Amino acid sequence: MQISANGISIEVEDHGPANGEPLLLIMGLGMQLLAWPDEFVQQLVARGFRVIRYDNRDIGLSQGFDQMGVPHVGLASMQHLLHLPVKSAYSIGDMAEDARGVLDALGIARAHVCGASMGGMIAQHLAARHPGRVKSLTLMMTTSGSRRLPGPNFKVRSALLARPPREHEALVAHSAAFIRLIGSPAYPAPKGWLEARTDRAIRRSYRPRGMLRQLVAVAADGDRSTLLRQIQAPTLVIHGSADPLVPVPAGRDLAARIAGAALDEIPGMGHDLPPELWPRFVDGISSVAAKSS
């Protein structure tokens, strides 16, 4: 369903009983709400959560920002590396206000929040800026943005910035190959599984320019280390030891910077959500939620 949040149109799905514990899921760079798999959502619902997943701005079925033009990603990357200001069409903070707006539109005063990758950056802003709205916080495969942390290796960085093909089948193969590249070596996806999920997502919506604007917003956001001191919610950091996109030192750093945060470092996990680990994720989200008042 379409709702108005923070003055823009956002596509939202609301799963589970209305009286369940609200859990807001925030997905990462260029990823639609489908990237939170249906079966994973149902496992959360079975644990008593009312699960809300949504498309971030500029992606999926939410409002686009094509009027802001196509960013120069190379220039933004250079500015980021040189510690110069990066100009973006909108900010990660703006996207956090979108998340708050989703809660407002649904009449939810306080929610548990789980963010993955860029979604974890959005969740950091939400929890720090609006502590009264976040009951518990789960941060998956994300980072504080500290400049002292390692980044993706050259192969992953090159694949992230590679120009995608236009023909549908080639695009599906290209996208699935990237997900496999950054995925979990200990939990490889079955043959055809990623392709089927990628095909479904691309048929629903394909907005590469939106992903580029989101990517520049990430670069513009910079270091959130100081912001993290404001987070009050019980926090769990989940990170894979084999993450090639956001290496595991980022998860350790994040947990160390948030007061009282716990770290679940998972051997063999990369930058994805393998089905074998869904019960572990659900247990972690449930456990940190139980610590909230």
∠ Cα 105 40 140 (to 5°)? 75
d(CA 66, CA 288): 38
- Give percent of the chain above pLDDT 90: 86
Q: Is 265 helix (H, G, I), strand (E, B) or coil?
A: strand
pLDDT above 70 covers a percentage of the chain that reads: 99
pLDDT score, position 82: 61
Q: What is the pLDDT of residue 88?
A: 86
Beta-carbon count within 10 A of 64 CB: 18
Residue type, 130: H
- Number of other residues whose CB lies within 10 A of the CB of residue 292: 14
Using one digit for the tens of pLDDT, what is the confidence trace for 214-241?
Answer: 999 999 998 999 999 999 999 999 999 9
Positive or negative torsion for Cα 117, 37, 12, 104: negative
Q: How many CA atoms lie within 13 A of 129 on its CB side?
A: 16
Say if residues 237 and 264 touch (Cβ distance below 8 Å).
Answer: yes
Using the predicted structure, report yes or no on whether residue 212 has a pLDDT greater than 90.
Answer: yes
Helix (H, G, I), strand (E, B) or coil at 190: coil
Instruction: State the residue range of the domain holding 151.
Output: 2-290
Domains in the chain, number: 1
3-state secondary structure of 152: coil
Q: What are phi and psi of 9, to 5 degrees?
A: -90, 125
Q: Contact at 8 Å (CB) between 141 and 251?
A: yes
Residue 262 CB contacts under 8 Å (≥ 6 apart), including other chains: 235, 236, 237, 255, 288
Query: Which of 102-116, 154-168, 194-208 has the weakest average pLDDT?
Result: 154-168
Q: What CATH number does the domain containing 220 carry?
A: 3.40.50.1820
Confidence of residue 175 (pLDDT cuts 50, 70, 90): very high
Averaged over 109-134, what is the pLDDT?
Answer: 98
Strands 111-116 and 21-26: parallel
Q: Tell me the pLDDT of the chain averaged across its residues.
A: 94
In the predicted structure, residue 154 carries a pLDDT above the cut 90: no
pTM of the model: 0.96
Please count the other Cβ atoms lying within 10 Å of the Cβ belonging to residue 60.
24
pLDDT interval class at 293 (50, 70, 90): low
Of the CA atoms within 13 Å of residue 38, those in its CB half-sphere come to 3
Helix (H) or strand (E) holding 134: strand 134-140
Residues 259-273 pLDDT 10s = 999 999 999 999 999
Q: Determine the Cα–Cα distance for residues 126 and 261; give it in Å rounded to an integer.
A: 16
Tell me the angle at which helices 193-204 and 168-182 cross, rounded to the nearest 10 degrees: 120
